[in-house]
Amino acid sequence: MMKKEFVEERRLGIIQYINQKRRADVYELAQEFNVTEVTIRRDLILLEDSGKLVRTHGGAISCLDRSIWQTTNIRARLENETAEKERIANYVASLISDGESIFLDSGSTSLLIARALLSHKRLMVVSNSPSVAQTLAGVNENKVLITGGELEKNTDSIIGTSCEEFLKQYRTDKAILGISGILIPDGYFAANPQEAAVKRIMGNNAKRTIYAADSSKIGTTAFTFVESLKNTGLLITDTNISEDNLKLLKQYGADVVTV
C-alpha cells in the first residue's frame, strides 16, 4: 500500500474513532494509530478544515457533538442537501430581475445562489462573502461591493463592527439571507451574534427579504436569534419539509414557498 493510501486510511480511522467515542485527545489518538502527536495534530487540522470533526484544546470532538454556537466548514456544507440547495438557489435567482440591487450574505446556499445568478445582468450586489464576490464580480456588467471586517475563514464570511457599519450605508431592492436554524414558533437563527447582526442589517435595509434554507434547518436551533417568522420576508425551502412543519410555519405567519 502506498504512503498516501496509509495516510488516507489513518484519517478515515480517526474520523470513525472520534464518531464512536464522541471525543478523543491527541495522545490517545497517537497511541491508537501508532504515530506521533505532531502527525495527529496535522491530521486534525486537515480533518477540521474539511468539516469532518471539530478540534478542541488537546484533541477533537465529533461533529455530532458540536455546540449550537459553533460553525461548520462551508466546504462540508456544500456537500450536504446539495440537490435541495440547488433547487432553492435556482428559484431564488428567478425572483431577481436584471438591474436590481441585492444584499447576499455568506454561506453554502448563498454561494449556490450567486452561481445561479451568473446569467443575470447589471446587478448591484452587496455581500460579506469573498466567494460570492469573486463569483459575480465583473460578469455581465454586474457590480459587487464587499464589506470590510474580520474574515471568518471557516464560514467564508466577513463579520464585525466594520462590516456592520459598511452595510448600514446601503439600501437595496432585496436581501437574500441564509439561515442556520428555524424554530417554530420562535423564528430564524444564526450561528453567532456577529452573523445575526449582519443578517438583521441586510434584512432591515432591503425592500424585500428572502430567506433561503433547506428543510433540514427547520426544527434545528442555532445560537443567535435573527428575526421572527411573522411578516419578515419570504422563506424558500425544499419539498422535503413535513406537512406538519409547513402548516405550523404558515400558522405562525411565515410566507413559505417549497421547491
DSSP character at residue 73: -
Question: Residue 255: how many CB atoms within 10 A of its CB?
Answer: 16
Residue 171 or 4, more confident:
171
pLDDT at residue 257, as a whole number: 97
| Same domain as 158, residue 81 | yes
Position 86 in a domain: yes
Residue 257 or 74, more confident:
257
> pLDDT digits over 127-144, tens only?
999 999 999 999 999 999
| Same domain as 183, residue 103 | yes
| Same domain as 242, residue 118 | yes
| Same domain as 131, residue 26 | no
| Same domain as 89, residue 61 | no
> In this structure, what C-alpha cell is assigned to residue 10?
489513518
Is the preceding peptide bond at 185 cis, omega within 30 degrees of 0?
yes
What's the pTM value of the predicted model, to 2 decimals? 0.73
Q: What is the domain range of residue 33?
A: 3-66
Q: In whole angstroms, what is the distance from residue 42 CA to residue 30 CA?
A: 11
Band (65; pLDDT cuts 50, 70, 90): low
Position 95 in a domain: yes
41: CATH? 1.10.10.10
pLDDT at residue 79, as a whole number: 53
| Same domain as 157, residue 31 | no
> pLDDT digits over 149-160, tens only?
999 877 789 999
Position 81 in a domain: yes
Q: In whole angstroms, what is the distance from residue 96 CA to residue 117 CA?
A: 8
pLDDT at residue 73, as a whole number: 52
Which of the listed residues 66, 87, 119 is the one where a domain comes to its end?
66
Class of residue 5 by CB neighbours under 10 A (exposed 0-12, middle 13-18, buried 19+): exposed
Position 85 in a domain: yes
pLDDT at residue 152, as a whole number: 86
Buried b (16+ CB within 10 A) or exposed e, 66-93: eeeeebbbbebbbeebeebbbbbbebbb
**pLDDT above 90 coverage of the chain, percent:** 69
Position 71 in a domain: no
pLDDT at residue 53, as a whole number: 79
Position 248 in a domain: yes
Q: In whole angstroms, what is the distance from residue 255 CA to residue 229 CA?
A: 8
237: CATH? 3.40.50.1360
| Same domain as 91, residue 53 | no
| Same domain as 85, residue 31 | no
Q: In whole angstroms, what is the distance from residue 94 CA to residue 109 CA?
A: 15
> pLDDT digits over 179-196, tens only?
989 999 999 999 889 999
| Same domain as 198, residue 90 | yes
DSSP character at residue 90: H
Order of strands across the sheet that contains 206-212: 143-146, 124-127, 101-104, 172-178, 206-212, 234-237, 255-258
Which of the listed residues 66, 84, 104 is the one where a domain comes to its end?
66
Asked if residues 189 and 221 have their Cβ atoms less than 8 Å apart, the reply is yes
Question: Residue 46: how many CB atoms within 10 A of its CB?
Answer: 11
* Mean residue pLDDT across the chain: 89
> pLDDT digits over 71-130, tens only?
555 455 555 457 899 999 999 999 999 999 999 999 889 999 999 999 999 999 999 999
Band (197; pLDDT cuts 50, 70, 90): very high
DSSP character at residue 49: H
| Same domain as 114, residue 61 | no
**Alpha-carbon torsion angle 161, 222, 208, 249, nearest 10:** -160
Per the structure, the count of domains in the chain is 2
Q: Which residues neighbour 6 within 8 Å (Cβ) at sequence distance 6 or greater?
A: none
Position 104 in a domain: yes
> pLDDT digits over 225-249, tens only?
999 998 789 999 999 999 999 999 9
pLDDT at residue 1, as a whole number: 46
Which of the listed residues 32, 66, 100 is the one where a domain comes to its end?
66
| Same domain as 82, residue 58 | no
How many residues appear in the chain?
Answer: 259
Band (69; pLDDT cuts 50, 70, 90): very low
| Same domain as 104, residue 47 | no
> pLDDT digits over 26-45, tens only?
999 999 999 999 999 999 98
